[in-house]
Copies of this chain bind each other. A is one copy, B any other.
Amino acid sequence: MRKQSVRRTVAELAEHVGGRVIGDGSVMVERVASIESAGAGAIAFVEDAKLLENAQNSRASCLIVPPGAHANAESLIETARPKLAFARIAELLHPPKQYQPGIHPTSVVAASARIDASVFVGPHAHIGERTRINAGAQVHAGVVIGDDVRVGRNCVLHPNVVLYDAVTLGERVTLHAGACIGADGFGYVRGDAGYHKFPQISTVVIEDDVEIGAHTCIDRGALGETHIGRGTKIDNLVQIAHNVFIGERVVIAAQTGISGSCVIEDDAVIGGQVGMGDHVRIRRGAVIGSKAGILPGKIVRAGTVMWGVPVRPLDEYKRLNAHWGRLPQMREDLDELRQQVKELAARLAEKQ
Interface residues of A (CB under 8 A from B): 1-3, 32-34, 37, 81, 83-84, 86-88, 90-91, 94, 97, 104, 106, 108, 122-124, 126, 140-142, 144, 148, 158-160, 162, 164-166, 176-178, 180, 182-184, 186, 188-191, 193-199, 201-203, 209, 211, 213-215, 217, 219-220, 223-224, 230-231, 233, 235-237, 239, 241, 248-249, 251, 253-255, 257, 259, 272-273, 275, 277, 290-291, 293, 309-310, 312, 319-321, 323-328, 330-331, 333-334, 337-338, 340-341, 344-345, 347-348, 351
- Given A141-B126, A183-B236, A186-B254, are A201 and B3 neighbors across the interface (CB < 8 Å)? yes
Residue contact A241 to B254, C-beta cutoff 8 Å:
yes
Instruction: Tell me the complex Cα distance, A338–B338, Å.
Output: 10
Query: Of all chain B residues, which has the CB nearest A310?
Result: B321
Asked if A178 and B331 sit within 8 Å, CB to CB, the answer is: no
Q: For the complex, give the distance between the alpha carbons of A331 and B320 in Å.
A: 11
Task: Name the prevailing secondary structure of the A interface residues.
Answer: loop
Closest residue to A231 on the B side, CB-wise?
B194
Would you call B166 and A2 a contact (CB within 8 A)? yes
Asked whether A140 and B144 contact (CB < 8 A) given A224-B37, A291-B275, A330-B331, the answer is yes
Chain B minimum-CB-distance residue to A204: B1
| Contact, CB under 8 Å: A345 / B340 | yes
Chosen A-B contacts, 6 in total, with CB atoms closer than 8 Å, are A1-B201, A1-B203, A83-B198, A87-B191, A193-B231, A334-B337
Residue of B nearest to A90 (CB): B199
Task: Tell which of B1, B108, B351 touches A202, judged by Cβ atoms closer than 8 Å.
Answer: B1
Q: A162-B160, A219-B236 are in contact. Are A272 and B290 (CB under 8 A)?
A: no
